[in-house]
Amino acid sequence: MTLTTRSGDARAERGAPPDRKPRHPGGRGRGRVAEALWGYAFIAPTGIGLAVFHLWPVLQTAYFSLTEWGYFGGHTWTGLDNYARLLADPEVGRALVNTLGYTALGLAGIPLAIVFAALLNQRGLRGAGVYRTLFFLPVVTMPVAVAMAWRWLYNGDYGLINHGLSLVGVDGPHWVADPATALYALAAVGIWSGLGYNLIIFLAGMQAIPREYYEAAEIDGAGRITQFFRVTLPLLSPTAFFVSIISVIGSLQLFDLVYVMAGSGPAARANPAFPRLQTVVQLFYDRAFVTNDRGYAAAIVVMLLLLITAMTAVQFRLQRRWVHYA
């Protein structure tokens, strides 16, 4: 009795020659291994760079957070003592509240960027390239230069803002020296300096929306405002989600603006608004490089890493409710 397969019967019906056995049964497997090795070889430079410059410092910092450093170098293992100090340190809680407050205020820059991007996305707008350049200039300006300029603008005695307010009979406060206005003044600078970057991203997202959607909405009688809320915003939600992720991460790492506008160390603590300006990264810098308490500073930055990870995870969890992918 002769057994034949279904494919063999089909080949016989077509008059095609039977299947030939491969000359080298392991050739395909060796080819796949070689292909995988070439793939690993191509990603090796990036992988090594990430491991050496990102992963290893993270692991090293996590280890240092469990140690205590001396003034002349060297460290001793202390276990979780630094984390116990974190929980009992009121300055950490205050810096954490300030950082979260600045992050919440900074999110107000997202709707502003969407509105300005929608205005710049209008057809036939003259000078659109000039407006985009003007919005993007703060992004390419050094943060220290931005902070120094705004420090002068906010000056309570001879700042330009208070001078303008005095012309209309308003006595302006000492913006970064008044606990009631310090954090809001800092957030305004952050929103202004990041507006151009977010605007360019939203502008690219709007230009990627197919025109057919707007044409269909126009046929249905929708005006510009209705099209903005019913077409633009839903299709722009993935871009808004991305911008919210990078905005939150950037805000939680705020340091340069605070360092230049409020300073650090004993001189900065003379500012009555310093408790409202101190952020987590500024506190980390103070402990690591001013008081030389590097083990405790490492614990602060590990706490910040966990906070960023947790908030990013929450954002990814919540995006299922408001992000619409076309």
DSSP codes, 179-212: TTTHHHHHHHHHHHHHHHHHHHHHHHHHHTS-HH
Say which range, 48-57, 63-72, 99-108, has the weakest mean pLDDT.
63-72
Tens of pLDDT, residues 91-147: 999 999 999 999 999 999 999 999 999 999 888 788 888 888 888 888 888 888 888
Please report the pLDDT score of residue 273 as a whole number. Answer: 84
Q: What is the mean pLDDT of residues 30-41?
A: 89
3-class SS at 76?
strand
Which of the residue ranges 113-122, 143-152, 204-213, 267-276 would you say has the lowest mean pLDDT? 267-276
SS3 content of the chain, % helix, strand, coil (to 5): 70, 0, 25
* Across 252-275, average pLDDT: 82
- Is this model's pTM higher than 0.85 or not? no
Query: Which residues, 6+ apart, have CB-to-CB distance to 247 below 8 Å?
Result: 106, 107, 109, 110, 194, 198
Indicate if the pLDDT at residue 18 is higher than 70.
Answer: no
Sign of CA dihedral 71, 74, 79, 82: positive
pLDDT of residue 3: 43
CA distance 297 to 2: 79
Evaluate if residue 63 carries a pLDDT over 80.
Answer: yes
The answer to whether the CB of 71 falls within 8 A of the CB of 292 is yes
pLDDT, position 261: 83
Q: What count of other Cβ atoms lies within 10 Å of the Cβ of residue 143?
A: 16
Residues in Cβ contact with 254 at an 8 Å cutoff, skipping those fewer than 6 apart: 99, 102, 190, 279, 281, 282
Taking each helix axis as running N to C, give the angle between helix 233-252 and helix 90-106, from 0 to 180 degrees, rounded to the nearest 10.
Answer: 150
